[in-house]
């Protein structure tokens, strides 16, 4: 297992959602609070940045091309035309005032599962998990979340993981998933993160079915077996990782986004590594992210 190294000089206030695009062979990531979209050509060592009109929670790639981002007022299609980012409404969000979308991920059958949370965070458990498919946005599938996070899928698509990163919760759950109706059932505790360092932020699953979670405030990535046992960890050069995702031509690089915002001033930290994008070689590798099909 190698060491994590910085691969972009550009910094984010709240870096999130690294997404390896299997067609373009580049890495996309976001700044939730910037708000901004980044595109990093890892081989060329070049990162481009586009400002966004609303805070953004996550991005996925669409089977018809381009990206879809979950912003404050709904889902939006992102199409890059040269150096210009074109943004168009994809689906209405219909969230109440003061609530925005946060972490999300596509299922193997091409539906988007994305959660919501209060912004700013005030400890209110008003967050929910939704499904987007050909019928648009579902009714809440999971309720009572404070800082929804960590949506990830087992390699066979039959298990979905979900976390709540708030310091008063710090839990990771597993659900059974039935793709015929896009339904979740059998919610159970997967990991009680109060027993480990850090809060459970974004997550991904490797090719062996082990869950990697970003332990925010602990400067670590933690790897859990399908039975919820901690098997290994990676130490990072920054304290607040937010999410990890596999990428690279062989999917054997783990990319990690981080928080760059000082918790007191709310501006960029004076620590130059905070908010940057990191990468480390890792074996076993990961699985390609599935496209949104609706």
Active site residues: 201
What is residue 279's three-state secondary structure? strand
d(CA 162, CA 6): 28
**CA dist 38 → 15, 23, 32, 124, 253 (Å):** 10, 17, 11, 31, 18
Q: Do residues 271 and 263 lie in contact, with contact meaning Cβ atoms separated by under 8 Å?
A: no
d(CA 154, CA 174): 10
Q: Two tokens at 84? A: 């210009």
Q: Two tokens at 140? A: 């809440």
């Amino acid at each position: 297992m190698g060491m994590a190294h910085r691969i972009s000089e550009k910094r984010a206030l709240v870096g999130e959602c690294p997404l390896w695009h299997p067609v373009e062979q580049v890495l996309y990531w976001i700044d939730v609070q910037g708000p901004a979209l980044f595109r990093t050509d890892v081989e060329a060592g070049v990162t481009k940045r586009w400002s966004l009109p609303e805070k953004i929670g996550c991005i996925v790639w669409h089977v018809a091309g381009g990206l879809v981002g979950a912003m404050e007022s709904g889902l939006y299609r992102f199409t890059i035309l040269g150096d210009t980012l074109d943004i168009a409404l994809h689906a209405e969000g219909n969230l109440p005032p003061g609530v925005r979308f946060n972490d999300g991920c596509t299922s193997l059958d091409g539906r988007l599962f994305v959660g919501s949370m209060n912004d700013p965070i005030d400890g209110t458990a008003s967050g929910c998990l939704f499904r987007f498919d050909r019928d648009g946005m579902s009714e809440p599938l999971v309720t009572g979340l404070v800082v929804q996070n960590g949506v990830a899928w087992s390699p066979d698509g039959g298990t979905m993981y979900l976390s709540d990163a708030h310091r008063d919760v710090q839990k990771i759950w597993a659900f059974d998933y039935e793709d015929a109706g896009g339904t979740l059932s059998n919610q159970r505790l997967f990991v009680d993160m109060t027993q480990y360092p850090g809060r459970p932020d974004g997550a991904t699953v490797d090719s062996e079915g082990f869950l990697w979670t970003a332990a925010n405030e602990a400067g670590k990535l933690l790897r859990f077996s399908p039975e919820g046992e901690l098997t290994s960890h990676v130490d990072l050069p920054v304290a607040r990782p937010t999410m990890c995702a596999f990428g690279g031509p062989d999917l054997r690089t783990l990319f990690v986004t981080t928080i760059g915002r000082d918790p007191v001033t709310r501006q960029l930290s004076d620590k130059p590594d905070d908010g940057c994008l990191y990468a480390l070689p890792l074996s076993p590798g990961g699985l390609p992210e599935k496209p949104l099909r609706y």
